[in-house]
Amino acid sequence: MIALVFLQSVSQATKLVSLLCDLDVFDTIYHAENEQDCSALLQQNPNALSFLPVGFASLCQPSSCWVAVGETTSDALTAFNHSAQGFVHVPFDEKQLECVIQRLTLHCEKAHHRRQYQRLVKGLCIQYGVNEHALLATLRRQHALIKAPGIVSVKAQDGWCCLQPRDIKWIEACGDYMEIHTLDRRLLVRSTLCQLMQKLGHEYYLRCNRSVAVNLDFVDKIDKVGSQLHVILDDGQRFKMSRRYQTPQWHPTKAASMLAELQ
């Protein structure tokens, strides 16, 4: 980081430069002796953190990060009306200065990351010949695909095995174990239902009661017997749906309309 100090009082400027050096935060600290030098240094270092008197706010660009140096509350109010990111009182207090620097260092880092992001997005748009909205939409889709688990490994009664989450039809609690029913086998896994669903990916499953979670792709219909709702899979497997799990979690799904009709 680069700091630029320009104060009308030479003694105050020298003291501030000394304090900034003691903080050991900046790679380079410039001490401008007059307004012309300050303006030239600001043009050469547009991302520098500038320490200026309240009356010289006009030297900074609107996007510049600068700290006002003053003596009164009125100076502070004037500084913030001119978009100052901080205010340092004279005479200088080391603790106050350190707090201001810490906050503005974080601000400058975020601004730097935003500039890097904007350059990256602009470069990718030029490379692929698309606008920013199209690029970001594509990246969001790719991110969603990456987040969704592909093959996951679970430790079953016969050792470790790999599963495709979308091939699991339902999961049912069985004592201290979970029964995983896939298209062609049944596995016993020592886990809680919540832990197992988190590992496999919530987008595939919904719980129909405390002990059972079903894969939505295999739900055929929801049936009502008396006041009791049942989730029926395409192979005829039937599970009771607890009232606790009836309303928010089944929307939107292909079973939502059936559920609405039955309620």
Q: What is the pLDDT of residue 171?
A: 92
Quote the CA–CA distance of 208 and 245 in Å, as a whole number. 6
For domain 152-262, the CATH superfamily is: LytTr DNA-binding domain (2.40.50.1020)
Q: What is the pLDDT of residue 34?
A: 83
**Domain extents in the chain:** 2-118, 152-262
Q: Is the full-model pTM beyond 0.85?
A: no
For domain 2-118, the CATH superfamily is: Response regulator (3.40.50.2300)
User: Could you count the other beta carbons within 10 Å of the beta carbon of residue 194?
Assistant: 11
- Candidates 247, 211, 241, 219; CA nearest to 228 is 241
Residue at token pair 């939107």 = 252
C-alpha dihedral sign at 126, 128, 130, 134: negative
- The model's pLDDT over 3-62, given as tens digits with 9 standing for 90+, comes to 888 888 888 888 888 888 888 888 888 888 888 888 888 788 877 888 888 777 666 665
Percent of the chain with pLDDT strictly greater than 90:
4
Quote the CA–CA distance of 245 and 211 in Å, as a whole number. 11
Q: What is the pLDDT of residue 252?
A: 46
**Three-class HEC string of 105-134:** HHHHHHHHHHHHHHHHHHHHHHHHCCCHHH
